[in-house]
């Protein structure tokens, strides 16, 4: 402690580091948000219908400003850069989140489905108009009866060879399209996911996507539903009041054969179904895999929403005083700043560290997405690894947003409860991120599937029950051998040579020690899952019952895996950062994140012999010491996120 020299933060330089290669894109979006910062107030003063129109106008204005086409092909008015589109979307999360979600529905989900699932005929027909905002659409996948289980959707698309049309039908209430953004008011078209039947009496070929007109040309009240289409407003929601979520029914709506988005499968004029991907499960997962950009976007948006909350809460804690610290009450000593209290530091600063960690993890997954969708890498294994990493990062990022915004709200006391101070909207609008683009627990099951099957060729063919059979029958010995205690020790010794006592002898601030602890936990838990799956099948249990019994263990192993990836991303970023005070500050945050993760799961580490009670106490003391070291840097570290000042003009920061 005597040799410790308190660093200072070069805020502009740290912002540049955080913004990465798309700094110019992020700055463009920041300027746009600053110009339209008034929408944050509009949400508090406008009625729902009026605010919906305001949000739609803002999305069209974003299109006019060139913010919507970064990821689309240049020949249709786009920028041809998937990474730039992710950077733009993440940065938009600093502003109003209804506008963000409307933006995501229009250009990410609706536009992304046409781009990734359609062929040239669909691109030529729709992309230019949807990029410009002239054509509004929606993404009609979720049904009242089916959300995550997309393969079981009830909507049907039956081919009529006599007219060369598909007939789109909602057979019952459970098959109505539900919670569909843009549907209640503004969408003229929908990408509808339905069971494809090549003939009226034929079996389904699985879920496919179709472009289906919903309304006559014209927005708002003038855009009445077309014959056979019934649309109902979902009504009041917890948040995102500017997004017009709706329910859709189809009563024998006919669309031409060409309405099928046919990148992966088609139907000939006489009703013959064709696809280059013979296995129906693999075909389905390949189709859904192309839509992974939505998960990457939602995860990044959640992380950036957390940045807004932390910036406000930390600035407030640097100004707000509470209680005198003198020996006697009333001795005239100035009251203490909130951020000087140890408990306040404990509440906010580990969350600040985790936000930085998730930012760098998100940076990696966004880069992988760019490489896969841009064709830089064409390996199937890389695509599967991306799907898994995107699912895990989205889960942890959105959960982090929910937790951070709540903690920041509480840390601002009564002031945090006022709508003018943004926490009400941040809390309400991000809550759904935990189920947007897949329920987080379901997504972590996808992560576990990849770990257990090692992204083998069977990865894309397996549902949950198939995974149980695969692990029990083929992979379990490999998994258990790979994650045996002996093998685990050998792997951690690569990081920390020194025998079986590596976890007792290494320094707590040694990143290799921290990584070894998270790696050990992950692989030990994964081996446990494999053993339990095999034991259940060997005992004659049905695969569904086996999976249900082991599900909590599956989720735990997946979460441990993602937390290890997050730490690896942070450690790598610190290592690459140029020497100086900013690197020292990032190192403090990295240590704080790592030890906070270990501390939070110290029960597991102690149960499995990797943490003594004395060392557990030492970790807690180190976390507190790191909080004290980060405290003088906290506001600058939050300012480096680059949230536009116009979006931080809230009541609780008006007085010093």
Chain centroid to Cα 569, Å, comes to 16
> What is the per-residue pLDDT across 315-328, written as a single tens digit (0 to 9) for each?
999 987 676 665 45
pLDDT at position 482 is 55
The pLDDT > 70 percentage for the chain reads: 89
Is 285 among the domain residues? no
Q: What single DSSP character describes residue 123?
A: I
Do 46 and 193 reside in the same domain of the chain? Answer: no
CATH number assigned to the domain comprising residue 272:
2.40.110.10
Do 349 and 491 reside in the same domain of the chain? Answer: yes
Do 640 and 504 reside in the same domain of the chain? Answer: yes
Task: Reply yes or no on whether the pLDDT at 488 is more than 80.
Answer: no
Of 38, 40, 20, whose CA–CA distance to 640 is shortest?
20
* Of residues 274 and 483, more confidently modeled: 274
Note whether 101 and 52 are within 8 A (CB). no
Of 360, 364, 389, 363, whose CA–CA distance to 571 is shortest?
360
Note whether 295 and 362 are within 8 A (CB). no
pTM, rounded to two decimals: 0.92
Query: H or E segment at 308?
Result: helix 293-319
Do 162 and 59 reside in the same domain of the chain? Answer: no
Is 1 among the domain residues? no
CATH number assigned to the domain comprising residue 93:
1.10.540.10
Using the 3D structure, point to which of 86, 102, 132 is the last residue of a domain. 132
Grade residue 540 by pLDDT with cuts at 50, 70 and 90. confident
CATH number assigned to the domain comprising residue 542:
1.20.140.10
Q: Which residue is associated with the tokens 């007085």?
A: 655
Domain count, the chain: 3
Query: How would DSSP label each residue in 36-85?
Result: TTTHHHHHHHS-HHHHHHHHHHHHHHHHHTT-S-TTS-GGGT----HHHH
Q: How far is CA 640 from CA 131, 396, 454, 556, in A?
A: 31, 22, 38, 33
Mean pLDDT of the chain: 89
Q: How far is CA 245 from CA 138, 381, 564, in A?
A: 10, 36, 37
Do 255 and 304 reside in the same domain of the chain? Answer: no
Rounded to whole angstroms, the Cα distance separating 146 from 153 reads 6
Residue 400 burial class via C-beta count within 10 angstroms: exposed 0-12, middle 13-18, buried 19 and up: buried
Coil, strand or helix: which one is 320? coil
Grade residue 148 by pLDDT with cuts at 50, 70 and 90. confident
Do 379 and 451 reside in the same domain of the chain? Answer: yes
Do 404 and 520 reside in the same domain of the chain? Answer: yes
Question: Sign of the C-alpha dihedral, residues 347, 338, 311, 574?
Answer: negative
Is 585 among the domain residues? yes
Is 328 among the domain residues? no
Rounded to whole angstroms, the Cα distance separating 523 from 470 reads 18
Using the 3D structure, point to which of 77, 110, 132 is the last residue of a domain. 132
Angle of the 581-600 helix axis to the 342-373 helix axis, nearest 10 = 100
> What is the per-residue pLDDT across 572-605, written as a single tens digit (0 to 9) for each?
999 999 999 999 999 999 999 999 999 999 999 9
> What is the per-residue pLDDT across 399-438, written as a single tens digit (0 to 9) for each?
999 999 999 999 999 999 999 999 999 999 999 999 988 8
The pLDDT > 90 percentage for the chain reads: 71
Do 467 and 593 reside in the same domain of the chain? Answer: yes
Using the 3D structure, point to which of 117, 132, 147 is the last residue of a domain. 132
Grade residue 494 by pLDDT with cuts at 50, 70 and 90. low
Do 516 and 624 reside in the same domain of the chain? Answer: yes
Note whether 282 and 463 are within 8 A (CB). no
Give phi and psi for 197, each to the nearest 5: -110, 115
Coil, strand or helix: which one is 189? strand
pLDDT at position 219 is 45
Do 91 and 151 reside in the same domain of the chain? Answer: no
Is 40 among the domain residues? yes
Do 269 and 211 reside in the same domain of the chain? Answer: yes
Is 286 among the domain residues? no
Rounded to whole angstroms, the Cα distance separating 226 from 216 reads 6
Do 93 and 169 reside in the same domain of the chain? Answer: no
Rounded to whole angstroms, the Cα distance separating 53 from 186 reads 9
**Residue-number span of the structural domain to which 22 is assigned:** 11-132
> What is the per-residue pLDDT across 64-73, written as a single tens digit (0 to 9) for each?
999 999 999 9
Query: H or E segment at 26?
Result: helix 23-35
Is 519 among the domain residues? yes
Give phi and psi for 540, each to the nearest 5: 90, 10
pLDDT at position 489 is 53
Grade residue 515 by pLDDT with cuts at 50, 70 and 90. very high
pLDDT at position 114 is 97
Is 654 among the domain residues? no
> What is the per-residue pLDDT across 344-397, written as a single tens digit (0 to 9) for each?
899 999 999 999 999 999 999 999 999 998 888 888 888 888 999 999 999 999
């Amino acid at each position: 402690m005597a040799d410790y020299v308190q660093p200072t933060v070069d805020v502009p330089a740290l912002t540049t580091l955080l913004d990465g290669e798309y700094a110019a894109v992020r700055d463009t979006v920041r300027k746009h948000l600053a110009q339209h910062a008034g929408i944050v107030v509009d949400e508090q003063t406008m009625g729902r219908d009026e605010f919906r129109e305001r949000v739609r106008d803002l999305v069209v204005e974003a299109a006019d400003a060139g913010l919507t086409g970064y990821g689309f092909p240049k020949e249709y008015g786009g920028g041809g850069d998937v990474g730039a589109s992710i950077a733009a979307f993440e940065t938009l999360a600093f502003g109003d989140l209804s506008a963000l979600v409307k933006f995501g529905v229009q250009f990410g989900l609706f536009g992304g489905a046409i781009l990734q699932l359609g062929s040239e005929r669909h691109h030529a027909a729709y992309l230019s108009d949807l990029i410009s905002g002239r054509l509004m659409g929606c993404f009609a996948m979720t049904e009242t009866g089916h959300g995550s289980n997309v393969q079981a959707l009830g909507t049907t698309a039956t081919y009529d060879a006599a007219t060369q049309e598909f007939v789109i039908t909602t057979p019952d209430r459970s098959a109505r399209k539900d919670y569909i953004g843009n549907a209640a008011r503004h969408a003229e078209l929908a990408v509808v996911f339905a069971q494809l039947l090549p003939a009226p009496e034929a079996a389904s070929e699985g879920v496919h996507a179709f472009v289906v007109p919903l309304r006559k040309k014209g927005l708002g009240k003038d855009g009445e539903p077309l014959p056979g289409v019934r649309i109902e407003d979902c009504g009041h929601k917890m948040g995102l009041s500017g997004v017009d979520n709706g329910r859709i029914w189809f009563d024998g709506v006919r669309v031409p054969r060409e309405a099928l988005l046919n990148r992966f499968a088609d139907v000939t004029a006489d009703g013959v179904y064709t696809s280059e991907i013979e296995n129906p499960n693999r075909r389905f997962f390949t189709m859904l895999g192309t839509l992974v950009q939505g998960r990457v976007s939602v995860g990044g948006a959640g992380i950036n929403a957390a940045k807004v909350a932390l910036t406000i809460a930390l600035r407030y804690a640097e100004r707000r005083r509470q209680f005198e610290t003198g020996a006697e009450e009333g001795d005239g000593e100035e009251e203490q700043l909130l951020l000087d209290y140890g408990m306040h530091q404990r509440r906010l600063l580990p969350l600040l560290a985790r936000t930085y960690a998730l930012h760098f993890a998100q940076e990696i997954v966004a880069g992988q997405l760019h490489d896969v969708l841009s064709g830089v890498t064409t390996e199937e294994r890389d695509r599967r690894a991306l799907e898994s990493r995107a699912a895990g990062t989205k889960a942890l990022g959105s959960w982090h947003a929910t937790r951070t915004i709540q903690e920041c709200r509480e840390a601002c006391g009564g002031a945090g409860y006022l709508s003018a101070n943004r926490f009400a909207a941040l809390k309400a609008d991000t809550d759904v991120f935990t189920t947007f683009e897949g329920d987080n627990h379901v997504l972590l099951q996808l992560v576990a599937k990849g770990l257990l099957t090692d992204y083998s060729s069977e990865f894309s063919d397996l549902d949950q029950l198939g995974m149980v059979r695969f692990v029990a029958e083929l992979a379990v010995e490999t998994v258990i051998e790979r994650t045996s205690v002996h093998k685990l020790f050998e792997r951690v010794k690569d990081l920390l040579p020194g025998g079986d006592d590596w976890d007792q002898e290494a320094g707590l601030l040694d990143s290799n020690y921290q990584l070894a602890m998270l790696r050990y936990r992950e692989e030990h838990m994964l081996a446990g899952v494999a053993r339990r799956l095999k034991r259940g099948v060997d005992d004659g249990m049905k695969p569904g019952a086996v999976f249900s019994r082991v599900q909590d263990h599956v989720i735990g192993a997946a979460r441990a895996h993602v937390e290890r990836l997050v730490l690896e991303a942070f450690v790598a970023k610190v290592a690459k950062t140029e020497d100086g005070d900013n690197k020292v500050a990032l190192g403090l945050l990295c240590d704080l994140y790592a030890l906070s993760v270990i501390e939070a799961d110290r029960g597991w580490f102690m149960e499995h012999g990797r943490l003594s009670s004395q060392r557990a106490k030492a970790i807690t003391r180190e976390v507190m010491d790191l909080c004290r070291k980060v405290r003088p840097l906290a506001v600058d570290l939050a300012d480096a996120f680059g949230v536009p000042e116009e979006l931080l003009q809230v009541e609780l920061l008006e007085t010093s």
